[in-house]
Structure 1
Amino acid sequence: MVEAVRALVKKSFKTCSEEVKYGGVLFSSGVQFCGVFVYREHVSVEFGSGAKINGPFGYLEGSGKGRRHIKLKSITDIEGKKLAQYLPLALQAASGAWGTPVCVTSATRPEPAAASGRTSGTPARPPAR
């Protein structure tokens, strides 16, 4: 799973570096924006400025002052929990001024519930502009 997350991060950003630190792999693209850590039951993708992301898809966990994470329990969670859509939001949150919430954009807006198969727990989307 870690290799799949690494590949997704590298595919998502033209300039991205990684560093092994704190027992995981940290990713930077001008600024450090996320890391991936392995646990016995899951892989955690951590966002250091994740609290600034206004959880557009409902998969961010955590209640601390700054960090949020997504737990991946299977390879299908990478797509199912919208990790590709969270990555640019995480970079934007890490790059922006503290306290400025990052909102979902048309590029990161999820498909309608009927197309995705999700019928409950899908947060309401803002109207299209």
Structure 2
Amino acid sequence: MNLSSVRIITADIKRLVAFYETATGMSFTWYTDDFAELRTPLAALAIGSTRTLALFGGDAVASAASNRSVIIEFQVPDVDNSYQQIAGHIEEGIVQKPTTMPWGNRSLLFRDTDGNLVNFFTPLTQEAKKRTEA
């Protein structure tokens, strides 16, 4: 089994896709007006509008902009450099500026426009690097 993607449900798909395109420097593929996806070599970040909930049983299935337990993580080559590039874009949502964590990653934690936590990280120690090898 392979993790294929993580999907965010949002009430403002254009705003959220634009946020992630700016933060990552990567483009999403739009499949419909209600569904877009950012594909990486290991998995994808999918974003669906609240209108897609009807396909899964209705509005009670998920609630946009209400996540308080999941962190969406992106491994980046140099988290300090990434921070310098996007600081102005994420300024209001910064939770923690680049910090070296006890498990060997350097990490930048911020919130997207829906309030979801996002972590950009760079493995620093050999052990941390081994954990992230594909």
Q: TM-score, normalised by structure 2?
A: 0.31
For the pair shown, which has the larger CA radius of gyration, 1 or 2?
Answer: 2
Q: TM-score, normalised by structure 1?
A: 0.32
The structure whose residues are more often strand, as a share, is 2
The structure whose residues are more often helix, as a share, is 2
